[in-house]
Amino acid sequence: MTLEHVSTSDIRSAFSAAMSAMYRDEVPAYGTLMELVARVNKEALAADQSLRERLEATDNLERISEERHGAIRLGTAEELATMRRVFAVMGMYPVGYYDLSTAGVPVHSTAFRPVGEAALKRNPFRVFTSLLRLDLIADAGLREEAAHVLSKRQIFTPQALELTAKAEQEGGLSQDDANRFVAEVLETFRWHDKANVDAAMYHRLHDAHRLIADVVSFKGPHINHLTPRTLDIDKVQALMPDYGIAPKAVVEGPPTRKCPILLRQTSFKALEEPVSFEDGEGGWQTGSHTARFGEIEQRGIALTPKGRALYDQLLEGSRRKVRPAADGSNSAAYEAALVESFADFPDDWASIREGDLGYFSYSLTEKGRAQRGSTSQDVDALIADGLIQFDPIVYEDFLPVSAAGIFQSNLGDGAQQEFLASPNQQRFEADLGAEVLNEFEHYAGMEQASLDACLHALSNRAAAE
Ligand code: OOG
Ligand code: NI
């Protein structure tokens, strides 16, 4: 990057803002959700002075209700590999591998997101990106036809490709080029109401799996939802019907807790929208398609592998007792089972840290900063002496069971389907043209760096005595 280059984070911010404007325009119910989220966030801040102070110190209050993520579904390896290059121009890199075949969804996924504290703080916008797995489709004939339809489409504009190559060659983009890049890349995410296929083909794809129809039938990977951050997800969930939007049956993820862990998310159900299919005689035949929705999220602490294993075990235990029905008929029972099961997950920061369940960022307290003379290198002792404090590191990734719940509720209630579990991270990375970053290693690295900085500062002071 040279002086006249715009920072990748600035490009990402501009892109996320442009996407938000486009989506509110395309899906009015999403604009309504944004209004509700802004209202609930404002009320939450007004009701809780300490929350307000904490957020003022760590976040930008102005941007609290902005989008945190969106999602797309791609059709081919080539699309995925090019998308990786496009996202890199915006400082977004593939983190994590999610196999959704186990949950009856024929895709595997990653999240393109900013990496590192500074970039996340500037703008954390991520895109959950799935690749369709035609290999999971039983009907060989249909598989081939779908692959053929996909091979004919080009989801990027020539200018988007040109500007991506230019950014790669020159190590960045000028302000003018960045503006053009955002406008051109936005085209890939736009809704196309004219299908690529005729109605008969659409229905065959749809019968194989609704998701296959969504990916294969259209000119591009329309953004299928955007997700602002809420400070009170239970309240937004409860208020959605008052705003004329239908929430999915349950909030995905852990239950309401004092110390939030990982990620809680919910959405309003995808809307049925008019589309038209080729009629084979150069004209169009009207029909409908259900794909687009709106979601909200609330994030908590990133868990260590040990904490995550406990989370998975407790979630599975509660789902064995009550499986959430898509029509919401057992939502209360599901929530009760979840709360009961998660009673076994410590709910104060000290116990979470002592149990090695979550990642924390360490810093010197005021007393620690004033400390003179030698100190121990024993972290527990330094905490007990009030020299070091610890704050939770926020989870920036996704959860496969939750993602499957979001997919399912938006694919229609009858869409449950079984596939053999077949994670294939190697294949995904070969298609992507890069390895995905391991999220656990990343959080562990952040924690260790904060700890090293504290110990280093303390021992430097001691040595200077
Ligand atoms: C993606 C669903 C996953 C999330 O928040 O877990 C997701 C999709 O429906 O394409 O966005
Ligand atoms: Ni989502």
For 341-371, give the DSSP string.
HGGGS--SHHHHHHTT-B-EEEEE-HHHHH-
Does the beta carbon of 428 sit less than 6 angstroms from any atom of ligand 1? no
Predicted confidence (pLDDT) at residue 23 exceeds the cutoff of 80: yes
For strand 284-290 and strand 272-278, is the pairing parallel, antiparallel, or unpaired?
A: antiparallel
Does the beta carbon of 113 sit less than 6 angstroms from any atom of ligand 1? no
Identify the pLDDT of residue 2: 65
| Percent of the chain residues topping a pLDDT of 90 | 78
Predicted confidence (pLDDT) at residue 113 exceeds the cutoff of 80: yes
Q: What is the mean pLDDT of residues 340-352?
A: 97
Instruction: Count CA atoms within 13 Å of residue 401 on its CB side.
Output: 19
Token pair listed for 221:
């990977």
Strand partners, 226: 70
Label residue 418 by pLDDT band (50, 70, 90): low
Identify the pLDDT of residue 353: 98
Label residue 346 by pLDDT band (50, 70, 90): very high
Identify the pLDDT of residue 464: 63
Instruction: Count CA atoms within 13 Å of residue 271 on its CB side.
Output: 16
> How many domains does the chain divide into?
3
Pocket test for ligand 1, best of 407, 409, 410 (most atoms within 8 A of CB): 407
2 assigned to some structural domain: no
What's the CA-to-centroid distance between 223 and ligand 2, angstroms? 11
Identify the pLDDT of residue 61: 77
Nearest CA to ligand 1 atom 7: 403
What's the CA-to-centroid distance between 165 and ligand 2, angstroms? 29
226 assigned to some structural domain: yes
Predicted confidence (pLDDT) at residue 465 exceeds the cutoff of 70: no
What's the CA-to-centroid distance between 410 and ligand 1, angstroms? 10
Does the beta carbon of 97 sit less than 6 angstroms from any atom of ligand 1? no
Label residue 428 by pLDDT band (50, 70, 90): very high
445 assigned to some structural domain: yes
Q: Which ligand is nearest to the CA of 210?
A: 1
Identify the pLDDT of residue 374: 62
Task: Indicate whether 337 and 238 sit together in one domain.
Answer: no
Does the beta carbon of 398 sit less than 6 angstroms from any atom of ligand 1? yes
Q: Summarize pLDDT for 223-280 with one digit per residue, the tens.
A: 999 999 999 999 999 999 999 999 999 999 999 999 999 999 999 988 899 999 989 8
Rounded distance between C-alpha atoms, residue 17 and residue 22, angstroms: 9
Residue 63 phi/psi, 5-degree rounding, is: -105, 15
Beta strand extents in 176-291 (DSSP E only): 194-198, 225-228, 263-268, 272-278, 284-290
Rounded distance between C-alpha atoms, residue 387 and residue 372, angstroms: 11
What's the CA-to-centroid distance between 69 and ligand 2, angstroms? 6
Q: Summarize pLDDT for 3-17 with one digit per residue, the tens.
A: 699 999 999 999 999
Q: Summarize pLDDT for 118-169 with one digit per residue, the tens.
A: 899 899 999 999 999 998 888 999 999 999 999 999 999 999 999 999 999 9
| Percent of the chain residues topping a pLDDT of 70 | 96
* 8 Å CB contact between 406 and 252: yes
Strand partners, 228: 67
Identify the pLDDT of residue 104: 84
Does the beta carbon of 224 sit less than 6 angstroms from any atom of ligand 1? yes
Task: Indicate whether 14 and 130 sit together in one domain.
Answer: yes
Task: Indicate whether 257 and 124 sit together in one domain.
Answer: yes
Task: Indicate whether 293 and 337 sit together in one domain.
Answer: no
Predicted confidence (pLDDT) at residue 462 exceeds the cutoff of 80: no
Task: Indicate whether 224 and 290 sit together in one domain.
Answer: yes
Does the beta carbon of 73 sit less than 6 angstroms from any atom of ligand 1? yes
Residue-range definition of the domain harbouring residue 423: 8-300+397-433
Predicted confidence (pLDDT) at residue 309 exceeds the cutoff of 60: yes
Does the beta carbon of 74 sit less than 6 angstroms from any atom of ligand 1? no
Predicted confidence (pLDDT) at residue 20 exceeds the cutoff of 80: yes
Label residue 94 by pLDDT band (50, 70, 90): very high
Label residue 342 by pLDDT band (50, 70, 90): very high
Q: Summarize pLDDT for 394-409 with one digit per residue, the tens.
A: 999 999 999 988 888 8
* 8 Å CB contact between 79 and 221: yes
Q: Which ligand is nearest to the CA of 252?
A: 1
Identify the pLDDT of residue 373: 66
Q: What is the mean pLDDT of residues 288-297?
A: 93
Task: Indicate whether 262 and 166 sit together in one domain.
Answer: yes
What's the CA-to-centroid distance between 465 and ligand 1, angstroms? 55
Identify the pLDDT of residue 101: 87
Segment among 10-14, 44-48, 368-372 with least mean pLDDT? 368-372
Who contacts 213 (Cβ-Cβ below 8 Å, separation ≥6)?
202, 203, 205, 206, 289
Residue type at 50 in one-letter notation: S
Predicted confidence (pLDDT) at residue 413 exceeds the cutoff of 60: no
Report the run of H or E that residue 112 belongs to, with start and end. strand 107-113
Check residues 408 and 207 and name the one with the higher pLDDT: 207
Identify the pLDDT of residue 458: 87
Does the beta carbon of 403 sit less than 6 angstroms from any atom of ligand 1? yes
Distances (CA, A) of 301 to 136, 393, 451: 35, 5, 17
Does the beta carbon of 110 sit less than 6 angstroms from any atom of ligand 1? no
3 assigned to some structural domain: no
Task: Indicate whether 168 and 255 sit together in one domain.
Answer: yes
Segment among 50-59, 85-94, 386-395 with least mean pLDDT? 50-59
Identify the pLDDT of residue 63: 80
pTM: 0.94
What's the CA-to-centroid distance between 70 and ligand 2, angstroms? 6
3-state secondary structure of 250: coil
CATH number for position 12: 3.10.180.80
Task: Indicate whether 88 and 177 sit together in one domain.
Answer: yes
Task: Indicate whether 406 and 326 sit together in one domain.
Answer: no
Identify the pLDDT of residue 53: 87
Q: What is the dihedral of CA 240, 241, 247, 252, to 10 degrees?
A: 60
Does the beta carbon of 265 sit less than 6 angstroms from any atom of ligand 1? yes
Task: Indicate whether 318 and 219 sit together in one domain.
Answer: no
Task: Indicate whether 199 and 338 sit together in one domain.
Answer: no
Who contacts 154 (Cβ-Cβ below 8 Å, separation ≥6)?
none
Who contacts 458 (Cβ-Cβ below 8 Å, separation ≥6)?
364, 368, 371, 375, 382, 387
Looking at the CA of residue 406, tell me the nearest atom of ligand 1: 2
What's the CA-to-centroid distance between 350 and ligand 2, angstroms? 30
353 assigned to some structural domain: no
Residues in the 5 Å CB sphere of ion ligand 2: 227, 295
Identify the pLDDT of residue 420: 67
Identify the pLDDT of residue 390: 95
Query: How much is the mean pLDDT over the chain?
Result: 92
Distances (CA, A) of 130 to 108, 136, 156, 428: 6, 14, 17, 10
354 assigned to some structural domain: no
Label residue 103 by pLDDT band (50, 70, 90): confident
Rounded distance between C-alpha atoms, residue 278 and residue 273, angstroms: 17
Identify the pLDDT of residue 117: 87
Distances (CA, A) of 143 to 140, 150, 154: 5, 11, 19
Which DSSP letter does residue 271 get? P
